[in-house]
């Protein structure tokens, strides 16, 4: 029993962690000072690792919400569009005000953007839990429509903002650490507390593993689904604000483009199955770090940018293969070697004998 426990533990995070270490090693070989962190004259931390932590923050923030959604057997494809909507709303409010540098204006802009994200999340929750539409279809609606909405808000323009308080969100530093990183860490911690210190996590997993048994045990799936889609959308809104702030511009067409795929990948690499059930936020953290490190590796190793996507795909395929039950069963069979194989399908006799 103890043995299987150890096995299970190693299974869950072993390969993603190993991959992260391998990627970092590759980087260190390519750039010997890769892991070095320096403090510049403004007291800010600098270095490739810090870049990974900062640039990976939006993906991580979204992946945290995505983890909860996936745990309920769902998926949220609309997060990238929600990023764009949140950015567009915030920028248009800031630009519309006579005093873009006023922290009060920026606060209103951020809160409005997040409120709209919440509404979008509740819409997704409504489609999935009340109307019973399959999550992939339900969220596909906003994935496509969302960028249109963002476009309407920006009136088809790329809104460039010059607002110090807003810029702080994406590229500022708090006690030397990038603000985006601090926000991502806080969100990860908060969501972990919210789901594990209350019964939310248990009920989400229960519904994800066995919806009918959960229903008979009195679990209300509807409220849970509303909650996870709402949380996911608000987190996507936050990520969208960070991305927009970093670019100092809201671009309805490109903010958060394909980020849903990175987030889903982070969740899957982290060991949470797409079929729902038990989830691991720690795994999602590792997954998000793997993805961001991968992007960095492409640059440090000097893989031509045109091949980036292919390289990424290859690594992801490797992780998925290593984590798949079929592979681990095959490996286990190898280890025990021999008689543990399943009983033969055919008996020795020929198919038909006279």
Partner 1 sequence: MTDTASTRAPAPQGNPDPVVEMTDISISFPGVKALDSVDFRMFPGEVHSLMGENGAGKSTLIKALTGVYSIDSGVVRLGGLQVTFSGPAQAQAAGISTVYQEVNLLGNLTVAENVMLGREPRRRGGIDWKAMRQRAAEILEGLHLDIDPASLLNSHSLAIQQLVAIARAIDIQAKILILDEPTSSLDVEEVAELFRVIRSLKESGVAILFVSHFLDQVYEISDRLTVLRNGQLVGEYMTDELLRIDLVQAMIGKELSALDDLGSRVHSAEGETATGSVPETFVAAKAITRKGAISPVDITIGAGEVVGLAGLLGSGRTEVARLIGGVDRPDGGQLKVDGRPLRLRTPRQAIKHRIAYSSENRRAEGIVDELTVRDNIVLALQADRGWFRPIPRKRQDELAASYIEALNIKTPSADALVRNLSGGNQQKVLLARWLAIAPRLLILDEPTRGIDVGAKAEIQKLVYSLAENGMSVLFISAELEEVLRLSNRIVVLRDRKKVADLVNDGIGVDQLLALIAEGAAEPELEAGVAS
Query: Based on CB atoms, which residue is closest to partner 1, 198 or 253?
Result: 198
Query: Based on CB atoms, which residue is closest to partner 1, 33 or 348?
Result: 348
User: If DSSP codes are grouped into helix, strand and coil, which group holds residue 46?
Assistant: strand
Closest Cα to residue 113, out of 285, 256, 267, 261?
Answer: 256
The nearest distance, CB 275 to partner 1, in angstroms, is 10
Query: Based on CB atoms, which residue is closest to partner 1, 337 or 352?
Result: 352
Chain residues that interact with partner 1, rule: CB under 8 A: 1, 197-200, 202-203, 205-206, 209-210, 212-220, 224, 277-278, 343-347, 349-354
The nearest distance, CB 215 to partner 1, in angstroms, is 6
Query: Based on CB atoms, which residue is closest to partner 1, 208 or 237?
Result: 208
The nearest distance, CB 126 to partner 1, in angstroms, is 19
The nearest distance, CB 73 to partner 1, in angstroms, is 12
Query: What length is written for the chain?
Result: 354
Angle, CA of 13, 16 and 17, to the nearest 5°? 75
Residues 87 and 113 sit within 8 Å (Cβ to Cβ): yes
The nearest distance, CB 328 to partner 1, in angstroms, is 16
Distance CA 308, CA 303 (A): 7
Residues 59 and 240 sit within 8 Å (Cβ to Cβ): no
The nearest distance, CB 132 to partner 1, in angstroms, is 15
- Specify the pairing of strand 173-174 against strand 159-160: unpaired
Query: Based on CB atoms, which residue is closest to partner 1, 76 or 205?
Result: 205
Query: Based on CB atoms, which residue is closest to partner 1, 1 or 337?
Result: 1
Distance CA 238, CA 290 (A): 21
Query: Locate tokens 């819409």: which residue?
Result: 123
- The 8-class DSSP code of residue 129 comes to I
């Amino acid at each position: 029993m103890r043995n299987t426990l150890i096995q299970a533990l190693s299974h869950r995070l072993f390969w993603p962690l190993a991959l992260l270490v391998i990627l970092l090693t590759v980087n260190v070989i390519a750039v010997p000072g890769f892991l070095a962190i320096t403090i510049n004259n403004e007291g800010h931390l600098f270095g490739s690792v810090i870049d990974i932590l900062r640039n990976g923050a939006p993906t991580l923030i979204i992946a945290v919400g995505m983890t909860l959604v996936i745990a309920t057997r769902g998926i949220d494809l609309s997060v990238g569009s929600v990023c764009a909507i949140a950015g567009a709303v915030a920028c248009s409010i800031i630009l519309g005000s006579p005093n873009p540098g006023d922290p009060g204006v920026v606060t209103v802009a951020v809160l409005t953007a997040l409120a709209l994200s919440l509404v979008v999340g509740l819409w997704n929750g409504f489609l999935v839990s009340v109307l019973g539409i399959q999550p992939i279809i339900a969220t596909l609606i906003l994935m496509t429509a969302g960028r249109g909405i963002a476009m309407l808000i920006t009136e088809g323009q790329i809104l460039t903002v010059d607002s110090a308080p807003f810029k702080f969100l994406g590229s500022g530093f708090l006690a030397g650490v990038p603000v985006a990183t601090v926000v991502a860490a806080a969100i990860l911690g908060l969501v972990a507390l919210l789901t594990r210190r209350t019964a939310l996590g248990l009920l989400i997993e229960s519904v994800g593993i066995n919806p009918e048994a959960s229903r008979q045990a009195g679990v209300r799936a509807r409220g849970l689904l509303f909650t996870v889609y709402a949380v996911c959308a608000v987190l996507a809104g936050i990520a969208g604000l960070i991305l927009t702030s970093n670019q100092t511009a809201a671009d309805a067409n490109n903010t958060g483009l394909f980020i849903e795929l990175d987030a889903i990948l982070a969740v899957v690499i982290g060991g949470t199955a797409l079929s729902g059930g038990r989830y691991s936020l720690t795994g999602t953290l590792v997954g998000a770090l793997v993805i961001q490190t991968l992007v960095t590796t492409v640059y440090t190793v000097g893989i031509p940018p045109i091949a980036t996507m292919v390289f990424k795909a290859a690594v992801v395929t490797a992780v998925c293969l290593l984590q798949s039950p079929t592979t681990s069963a095959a490996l286990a069979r190898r280890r025990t070697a021999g008689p543990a194989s399943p009983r033969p399908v055919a008996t020795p006799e020929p198919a038909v004998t006279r």
